[in-house]
Structure 1
């Protein structure tokens, strides 16, 4: 057990050296981080503060072990937390006189949480750098309090109030920045943050995380300007289409999408597009330096104006899982059932927007991916060097170089594809028939069909592929 004796008023105890080190960097930064990296300067500053009579003020301390062991290891709700993590800050009577407990302190907490969000999400600062900035802010407030107390020659109430307010603000800042759990807790309270939902797959080691679409899309559409821009864009596209029916300018003109739009009671339902891709992440240090491949599923509102739709911020993350887990039939089936149920629920129930006093309906549009992922999702063969490799027609690999002017290929249709799938299921999926391997991952998704909902991968076909026709 390590006891902090750097300050007479601290006395916090820690069970490991790492947690004690984090405590020093968070609450006693001024002792080890001197100005201009000059240790003598730090000692001189501390001595000067002591000479003018400033009393040392610490951050929120606790006799329990520190929860922040490492800045890259986040605290989760199921972990044991100290008693202070479950209790609100006990503000002194002087602070309550200056701030209304329900307004001033709440606004301060919300503003500071947003301040951290900008650092992390907008400027993409690493967590260690954010902690360093916060530590220096707390040290700055400590210095201001010490100077204020040193200049107080008598019990002047206004000065005492000012020092107490700063001390309580320092406590609020330290409390929110204490660990990841407290930060996410404040985001949930003030900014409607929805943590990802964990999905347990076939074994205890296999899991996936997904964000429920209804909550995610609802938060996005609560922006009045964005919602109005979507409505205006739909009207503009309808006007352009009416003027020239031969011009295809949006997915709303696709045959499969038009048939889906007939279902909801509102003909102006918003189109929801899905996208999937794989990414590789690497841990450059530590014992596990191997590359980890993840499969990500994203969603995009297809009716967003082009200038907004082209921005990365408009693409929402829907699901994240290890690619190796999708190779297991049971794990993949469990995950797809949850994702399809979530998508169908959004299309059936819609969402309510209070500002419009109405409900907004959604219709599935398309599922975008590269050729390999599209074939895998659609239940087609995953190789392109033999057989019926195209998911749009019945072309064979041997006839791929014949110009379309010399031969015509029979396109795949819903009826023909369903017959092939039923034949494969009847034979327990033991063979690939005309390029079809079996059922699609999303065969139960409303509005989805393997022959119509998986558009061509033009970028790879034209720029990289050798099978383009």
Structure 2
């Protein structure tokens, strides 16, 4: 059977557009969210049943490739070389055509990269802190690709351009491939966040009791913070302002007080920034489970103590460091394991420091304050 003879959907038996794009568009829009998706290919003699929409689409397109005689097998965005400078074949040699194709391809791959970044940012906003189920992400990816495909067809038809041209086909295919790759599972989404937004993946800590805790590497968090545009300059300016009030009657910052000036690390290292640590307990409930039991967790946060007050009062200046079950803290062995990596990183920052962007000499960090339940203790 040829594609042109295909008139009905093999799943719902509805009349469909007698083109490859029309048939696939119907599958995405009508059956894309079917949990029990299953169909055989109407264009071959195989009795194999496809239970995944993406697998079926990839198989179905192979028939289109073979019947059209065009080389669509590559998902490259570069069109055939003959598409460039059609009016002056004699004046353009092969090397110039190859160079033009390369430029065209690199520019549009850059556009795809921007689309990937925008899609990841949109998912981050919708997820509201990683609470969006994976099947919903796949539904969003399917809906977005359908929307973009319909938009491109409408735009090309208004411009009197063939909607089945190679460039449009490959570009839509690349967008679909990239979006579904990001939404495939949690690992692929986290990898995209690491690539585009410098997301620091937490390290899993296994405890002897069988529980798990999570620690976010402090070194990497600080590097990302100080690579933010203007952040380093803002901290240095505040640090200089604090030092100007040393020995004066006005205590601009608690470091200007006698106790602050006696800090063992800040007293001997001028190129040193201070960190504030916070500890707090919280309870979480999974509303999707049958039981409404509260899981009690303990968290550790940190902030840069040398930030101006207008920035330090914002929640965006507070960063998560450690997360574990509150009950695991009662065991002495667990406590040693929980704080082993954090203690090691803090000692390294005090003794070895960190090379910040634009610097040749290390900058040191030390704890100035530890807060728990709004009660502050100086270290």
- TM-score bucket (shorter structure): 0.5 to 0.7
- Mapped pair 1:188 → 2:191: no
Q: Give 1:328's aligned residue.
A: 331
CA distance in 2, matches of 1:239, 1:263: 15
Q: How big is the shift at 1:179?
A: 2.2
Q: How big is the shift at 1:295?
A: 0.2
Distance 1:206 1:368, change over 3 A: same
Given the alignment, which residue of 155, 169, 172 partners 2:178? 172
Q: Give 2:217's aligned residue.
A: 212
CA contact (8 A) 1:251 1:257 kept: yes
Given the alignment, which residue of 120, 139, 153 partners 1:116? 120
Given the alignment, which residue of 137, 148, 160 partners 2:144? 137
Q: Secondary structure at the match of 2:170?
A: helix
Q: Give 1:236's aligned residue.
A: 241
C-alpha distance after superposition, 1:253-312 (max 9, x if no partner): 354543335568641411111000001000123234211000000001000111110110
Given the alignment, which residue of 68, 75, 96 partners 1:91? 75
Given the alignment, which residue of 221, 225, 228 partners 1:223? 228
Q: Structure 2 regions of 5+ residues with no counterpart?
A: 1-8, 14-24, 34-51, 57-72, 81-100
CA distance in 2, matches of 1:28, 1:99: 35
Aligned residue runs from structure 1 range 40-439, under 5 A: 61-62=54-55, 91-92=75-76, 94=78, 97=101, 104-105=108-109, 108-121=112-125, 124=128, 127=132, 132-144=139-151, 159-203=165-209, 205-241=210-246, 245-260=248-263, 262=265, 266-370=269-373
CA distance in 2, matches of 1:349, 1:186: 32
- Mapped pair 1:31 → 2:30: yes
Q: How big is the shift at 1:356?
A: 3.4
Distance 1:364 1:146, change over 3 A: same
C-alpha distance after superposition, 1:94-123 (max 9, x if no partner): 469487666642552354234423442488
Q: Secondary structure at the match of 1:260?
A: coil
Distance 1:306 1:92, change over 3 A: same
CA contact (8 A) 1:148 1:163 kept: no
Q: Secondary structure at the match of 1:340?
A: helix
- TM normalised by structure 2 equals 0.67
Distance 1:147 1:110, change over 3 A: closer
Distance 1:254 1:317, change over 3 A: farther
Q: Give 2:43's aligned residue.
A: none
CA distance in 1, matches of 2:246, 2:266: 21
Aligned-pair Cα RMSD in Å:
3.9
Q: How big is the shift at 1:367?
A: 0.5
C-alpha distance after superposition, 1:184-213 (max 9, x if no partner): 11222333322100111123x212101011
Worse-superposed segment, 123-132 or 186-195: 123-132
Distance 1:353 1:268, change over 3 A: closer
CA contact (8 A) 1:274 1:299 kept: yes
CA contact (8 A) 1:95 1:165 kept: no
Q: How big is the shift at 1:239?
A: 2.5
CA contact (8 A) 1:208 1:321 kept: yes
Distance 1:166 1:29, change over 3 A: closer
- TM normalised by structure 1 equals 0.56
C-alpha distance after superposition, 1:361-396 (max 9, x if no partner): 11210100127x98xxxxxxxxxxxxxxxxxxxxxx
CA contact (8 A) 1:152 1:159 kept: no
Q: Structure 1 regions of 5+ residues with no counterpart?
A: 9-25, 35-58, 64-88, 375-450, 454-469
Q: How big is the shift at 1:353?
A: 1.9
C-alpha distance after superposition, 1:63-105 (max 9, x if no partner): 8xxxxxxxxxxxxxxxxxxxxxxxxx96236469487666642
CA contact (8 A) 1:229 1:304 kept: yes
CA distance in 1, matches of 2:267, 2:103: 50
Number of matched pairs? 303
Q: Secondary structure at the match of 1:300?
A: strand
CA distance in 1, matches of 2:237, 2:378: 28
